[in-house]
Amino acid sequence: MKHNELETKNELQEKSLFDKTVGRRSFLQYAGAGAAGIALVAAGCKKDRGYENPTMNGGVTLDFKDDFGVLNYAYALEQLEAAFYVKVASAPPAAFTTAQKAYFQDIQFHEIAHREFFKAALGTAAIGSLEVDFSSIDFTSASSVLGAAMAFEDLGVSAYNGAGPRIKNGTYLLLAGKIVSVEARHAAYVRDLISNGSFADLNSLASLGANNSAGLDAALTPDKVLTAAQKYIKTKINVINL
Amino acid sequence: MNIVNILEEIEKVDGEIYERLNPRRAAMKSFFNMGKKISLAAMPLALGSMFQKAYGQTALPAAVVDVLNFALSLEYLEYHFYNHCIVGKTPGSAVTDVTFNFPNAASQAAITTIRDHEKAHVDLLVGALGSSARAPIAYADTDFRAGGAFATVYSDYNTFLAVAQGFEDTGVRAYKGQAGNLLVSPGVLQTALQIHSVEARHASHIRQMRTAAGTTVYKPWVSLGASGQANDSGVAAVDAVYAGEDLTVQAGANIVGIGGNAGITKAVAVESFDEPLDKASVITIANLFLRDGKKL
């Protein structure tokens, strides 16, 4: 499935890869030698973006041995969300109100900003672009789009909450925190569109790890999140060192 | 207000708190594994036992108790704010100063949901403190009119919502700022993050309630004000709540137009990332709503 917006972006990003600045290096210097190793591997197969590990043909590898694995995991999810909202915003369901169209466009740009931020922050350590599969979503149906949006947002919140404790660097943790609350705001908005008042229905999020009586939101480990997201992603995602 | 703040404050008076909490990796691992098995509803008890393990069977050091109780104070404050406007509408209640009516059942239900979550967070801290928990803050200790700055908070539904928005957006920011201090304690960090995103869900809904109740549109996410200022709430009195929310550079990357996307305007860049707030600023905001002699 081709998305013009995504294809265009990829070209721009490829170009920007060669223009990495010292500032980027300092952002990433925390990872030290381990990161350098990853960067070298990635640089060695620049023409094959997406082949983090050449032996894992056609897929991407999320290596959770360090923060780069977690950040790439977030990057993967933001790619998925951005691709979904780009499609919604470009042709919203006819039943959407003007206000809904405007907010879904906002969300689209938020997710693109998140995706581009991770791409820029990860630099040469970034995984390649994922190919998505939205065949299960009827983009002409408001209920289908809203249902998928809710699934993406709640899953995103659970993913960030579940991955947060894996992050070793405080700067990265804060950045993840800056994003997850925006995802939670999206989730609440979409939920209210589906059923007003369900913005924080933690009982309905129990399967994602929420607990209503303790006032705790969802949190899932990466393996569970990726299993749930699998139906929307064509690219094979290899998870190691989880 | 949150677990993250608590440990940060403990660290100030007890530099070895993290070692106390995490004397041996294996011990903590078994503790968090246990945490996964027990009902999350028992989390307050589990937290309590964690602090007991950290400090042994003796009473918690006075300075640590102070810190935990400070966090509890903030939770009480949030709880009372919402609870007061609900019990004031209950027939037979002694409360008489809430004169506005919720416009519909849904709005009252939403405030009840939020109130219940804040109560759950209070219980979490009380469980952690055990017998050292401070005396509950009574409603009488609070002043949600903020000395007259929000004189109509109980008579005007829109004012009530405006203050609620300030509370929730502050809560989200307060949590975020301290997350880094919990890196060494993944289980507690996990819990704190799960509270943090609940506050963001509250904030999103309150903003929609404000939009529904009036003529001005408030986005579910923190955007730029009408004049491009950080405070998008339309209430100048809460400028402190939004100070620094208009950041457009993240980790050295300029978000405006990032990746060649012209659609990522300054407003979008601001909306895409929520910013943290330091503890001193949170105290300043909280004290607006406590009576003299009861301030933090």
Asked if A93 and A140 count as a contact pair (C-beta separation under 8 A), the reply is yes
Over residues B215-229, the pLDDT tens digits come to 999 999 999 999 999
Identify the pLDDT of residue B21.
61
Residue count of chain A? 242
CB pair distance less than 8 Å for A113 and B264: yes
Put simply, the chain A residues between 125 and 164 with a CB less than 8 A from any chain B CB are: 157, 160-162, 164
Assess A43–B contact: CB distance below 8 Å, yes or no. Answer: no
How confident is the prediction for chain A on average, in pLDDT?
82
ipTM field: 0.79
Is B188's pLDDT higher than 90? no
Classify residue A211 by its DSSP letter.
B
- Confidence bin at B2 (pLDDT 50/70/90): very low
Residues of B in contact with A26 (CB under 8 A): 252
Count of A-B CB contacts under 8 Å: 226
Compute the distance between CA of residue A61 and CA of residue B208 in angstroms, rounded to an integer: 40
8-state DSSP, B290: B
* Nearest in space to A113 (alpha carbons), one of B283, B16, B70, B254: B254
Q: For the segment B276-292, what is each residue's pLDDT rounded down to a tens digit?
A: 988 788 889 989 999 99
What distance in Å separates the CA atoms of residue B285 and residue B1, rounded to the nearest whole number?
Answer: 13
Q: Can you list the pairs that B145-153 forms with residues at least 24 positions away whose Cβ atoms lie under 8 Å?
A: B146/B237, B146/B288, B146/B289, B147/B288, B149/B237, B149/B288, B150/B237
Tokens 């409360």 sit on residue: B95
Residues of B in contact with A185 (CB under 8 A): 200-201, 203-204, 220-221
Dihedral angle sign, alpha carbons of residues B271, B274, B275, B280? positive
Query: What is the band of B61 on the pLDDT scale with cuts at 50, 70, 90?
Result: low
Residue B14: pLDDT above 70? no
| Six token digits for residue B52 | 């007991």
Beta carbons of A173 and B183 less than 8 Å apart: yes
Is the pLDDT confidence value at B59 over 80?
no
> Chain A 197-226, CB below 8 Å of chain B: which residues?
197, 199-202, 209-219
Predicted TM-score (pTM) of the model is 0.80
Residue B24: its pLDDT value, please? 41
Contact list in B for residue A218 (CB cut-off 8 A) is 194, 197
And the tokens for A196? 């007003």
Which residue from B minimizes the CA distance to A25? B252
- Whether A175 and chain B come into contact, CB under 8 Å, resolves to yes
**Mean pLDDT calculated for residue range B233-251:** 95
Q: What is the pLDDT of residue A39?
A: 33
Work out the pLDDT band at B10, boundaries 50, 70, 90.
Answer: low
- Per-residue model confidence as pLDDT tens digits over A224-237: 999 999 999 999 99
The minimum CA-CA distance between A63 and chain B, rounded to whole Å, is 19
pLDDT for the residue B280: 84
- Name the percent of chain B lying above pLDDT 70: 72
Instruction: Tell whether A118 is within 8 A of chain B (Cβ).
Output: no
Q: What is the pLDDT of residues A100-158, one digit of tens each?
A: 999 999 999 999 999 999 999 999 999 999 999 999 999 999 999 999 999 999 999 99
Lowest mean pLDDT among A104-118, B134-148, B184-198: B184-198
